[in-house]
Amino acid sequence: MQVVRTVQELRALSEAARAAGRRVALVPTMGALHDGHLALVALARRRADLVIVSIFVNPTQFGPSEDLASYPRTLDADLARCRAADVDVVFAPAAAELYPDGAQTFVEVAELAKPLCGASRPHFFRGVATVVTKLLAAARPHLAIFGEKDFQQLQVVRRLARDLLLGVEIVGAPIVREPDGLAMSSRNVYLDAAMRAEALALVGALDAAEAAALAGERSAAALLEQVRKEIGRAPHARLDYAELRHPDTLAECAAIDGPALLALAVRFPSPRAASGEVRLIDNRVLLRRHDAEGPPR
């Protein structure tokens, strides 16, 4: 496994692979790797000949009061996990490599970035879109793998790749969960035992809404009331949002008549986090095509 620090080194490796007829995959990460990230790597390994993992805590997607300074940085452990997962190249640049002095160019995806996480974190998707564009330009992959846990981010990246004619396939990978159902996240380390137990309210809310939809409930208001009821079972949970959206456009749904994205963001107190709280997101697409006709008869 090679570890490279500069765009020039990364691009040379990718272009050599492409010239040799090899398929190149990129898995962008911010490090603190867990089994969810490794599932993305495994998918990339199946789909490509050269697997690149980027490890970069992107400063432009953090707001002034967010956890940039305290975001977990575990590069040595991350490199060990990448070696064990048969990664070919790790790109671990310094911030100045991707944001040189005087940098003033940013990428924005206008409409998809507005709802959900974009409503409470208006800076976030501009930072994501900008760094992903830079990483795709540097690595020149045939495909890039993103997890569906960050569903809005996945749709933003798909849109920018289409709009900017980048010629890269954006692949979504299913959410990887802990044995008890909690979605894997680098921020789970901020949860103490009590808040870790309360965080299962997210899974309970998704399960309850899915069961109601399969039983025939189509009203968004009724489904979201069920979600709020389940989140309310966690005494310290503070709901940031619970919304039903069209999976492709992220347009709001008043009722569902086909696949619909149920997206959640919930905050929990955490003395381990610099801000004093941790914000977890999760989602599920209700009535996916295989069950869109309703419950078995």
Of 37, 236, 246, 290, catalytic? 37
Active site residue 290: no
Q: What is the DSSP string of the chain?
A: -EEE-SHHHHHHHHHHHHHTT--EEEEEE-S---HHHHHHHHHHHHH-SEEEEEE---GGGS-TTSSTTTS---HHHHHHHHHHTT-SEEE---HHHHS-TT-------TTTTSSTHHHH-TTHHHHHHHHHHHHHHHH--SEEEEEGGGHHHHHHHHHHHHHTT---EEEEEPPPB-TTSPBP-GGGGG--HHHHHHTHHHHHHHHHHHHHHHTT--BHHHHHHHHHHHHTTSTT-EEEEEEEE-TTT--B-SB-SS-EEEEEEEEEE-TTSTTSEEEEEEEEEET-GGGTT-S--
**What are the C-alpha distances in Å from 50 to residues 34, 75, 121, 167?**
21, 21, 34, 17
The size of the chain, in residues, is 297
Residues 6 or more apart in contact with residue 225 via CB below 8 angstroms: none
What residues are annotated to the active site?
A: 37
